[in-house]
Amino acid sequence: MVEGILAKRCMFCQIDPTKNTVIYENRSWRMWLNPFPQKHHAFHIVAAYRLHTNDLAALNDDDWRRLGKAFSWVQEKYKFPGGALAIRFGNPRFNAGSIRHLHFNIQVPDGSGRVQITLAKEPEEILAKNQILRVFEKMRQGTSFENLSLAEQSLVRDRMQ
């Protein structure tokens, strides 16, 4: 995500094929296994709308039908018995999303522990995320990692590759 933010590109419009292998796509949707699955998941599949929007109202009847077809395909392919379908849309303050692009998460627990879908973050989490984004913005504008303050470096060190 850091590379995309620094390059000012949407990671769901231009997915990185070295990290995301597309398993299904049609005219409206592209699906891949989440390369950063959460604990206690058998599957975590991302279904991203092919057009860059964060507005659920942008979908037309054909988009919804194609989503249904994509979901049916992935359920048949991976044979999961159940799970959750979470939609991330609109203001990320209300969906806890990291990427501002309309997408669905198909999450199937493996039964080894608690799984939850976060839809809102605590004010402290939002503040911390904003601090990280400010550092990324400095870097995007040309400040090298080495020229950041030690506090700024500590905020983004684990997110650098």
49's CB contacts (< 8 A; 6+ apart) are 12, 28, 29, 58, 59, 63, 101, 102, 103
Residues 47-58 pLDDT 10s: 999 999 989 999
Q: Which residue has better confidence, 32 or 95? A: 32
Instruction: Say if residues 141 and 92 touch (Cβ distance below 8 Å).
Output: no
Beta strands in 28-73 (DSSP E): 29-33, 41-49
How is residue 23 annotated by DSSP? Answer: E
pLDDT tens for each residue of 128-159: 777 877 888 888 788 988 999 999 988 888 77
> Please, which pLDDT band fits residue 16 given cuts at 50, 70 and 90?
confident
Strand partners, 159: none
Encoded amino acid at 30, one letter: R
Q: Is the pLDDT of residue 26 over 90?
A: yes
For 130, residues 6+ apart whose C-beta sits below 8 A from its C-beta are: none
